[in-house]
């Protein structure tokens, strides 16, 4: 039976702050092969939910560089998983910029490439949203400093978990020790 676990926005933001300018050793880096932005945001969301969906192809998970879902590292795949997921794992919905909270996600796009960059909301300043990202490593960077043609916004609503799964991964992921807490 599935239940909804709250999204710990503070854990996601703390993770982004710690790793915006450094690579967590338990995750691979895709900076030289297409970009690391969505991988980094997936890590932060995982730190805030501690739930992965291991469904082959259509899930959202990271085991190793060669064992991961397309949605863990791909901008459009991430969006599709987060906004359509009805099973185990984090889920969200499209929202407007004015409805964003800490730990929510922004994806940027342009006419040539479509959606190409994934960012995590880490703060607000006057009329601007502050974000964290990798590939172009940033923390507390104003969204207004990016050049893009359009954006979409994903409000993370929580994560569905199997009632039998009560594990909490945050400390082991935050410390860069293990992806899954085996304690």
Structural domain boundaries, residue 54: 2-174
Per the domain annotation, does 183 fall within a domain? Answer: no
- Backbone dihedral region for residue 176 (phi beyond 0: left; psi -120 to 50: alpha; all else: beta): left
Per the domain annotation, does 182 fall within a domain? Answer: no
Q: Compute CA 16 distance to the chain's CA centroid, rounded to the nearest angstrom.
A: 9
- Backbone dihedral region for residue 14 (phi beyond 0: left; psi -120 to 50: alpha; all else: beta): alpha
Decide: 130 and 124 in contact? Cβ < 8 Å: yes
Question: Quick one: CA dihedral 115, 120, 121, 123, positive or negative?
Answer: negative
Each residue's pLDDT tens digit in the chain (183 positions)?
899 999 999 999 999 999 999 999 999 887 777 678 999 999 999 999 999 999 998 999 999 988 999 999 999 999 999 999 999 999 999 999 999 999 999 999 999 999 999 999 999 999 999 999 999 999 999 999 999 999 999 999 999 998 765 567 888 888 888 887 543
Per the domain annotation, does 179 fall within a domain? Answer: no
Per the domain annotation, does 180 fall within a domain? Answer: no
Count of domains for the chain: 1
Decide: 48 and 168 in contact? Cβ < 8 Å: no
How far CA 26 is from CA of 116, 131, 135, in Å, comes to: 24, 23, 17
Per the domain annotation, does 118 fall within a domain? Answer: yes
User: What's the Rg (C-alpha) of the chain?
Assistant: 15
Per the domain annotation, does 181 fall within a domain? Answer: no
């Amino acid at each position: 039976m599935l239940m909804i676990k709250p999204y710990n926005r503070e854990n996601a933001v703390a993770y982004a702050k710690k790793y915006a300018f450094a690579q967590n050793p338990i995750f691979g880096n895709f900076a030289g092969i297409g970009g690391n932005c969505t991988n980094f945001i997936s890590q932060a969301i995982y730190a805030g939910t501690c739930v992965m969906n291991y469904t082959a192809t259509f899930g959202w998970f990271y085991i190793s560089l060669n064992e991961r879902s397309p949605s863990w590292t791909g901008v459009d795949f991430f969006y599709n998983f987060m906004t359509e997921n009805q099973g185990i794992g984090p889920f969200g919905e499209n929202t407007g910029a004015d409805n964003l909270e800490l730990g929510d996600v922004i994806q940027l796009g342009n006419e040539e490439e479509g959606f190409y960059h994934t960012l995590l909301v880490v703060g607000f300043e006057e009329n601007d949203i502050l974000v964290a990202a990798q590939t172009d490593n940033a923390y507390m960077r104003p969204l207004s400093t990016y050049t893009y043609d359009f954006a979409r916004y994903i409000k993370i609503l929580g994560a569905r978990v199997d009632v039998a799964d009560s594990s909490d991964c945050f400390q082991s992921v935050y410390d860069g020790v293990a992806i899954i807490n085996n304690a």
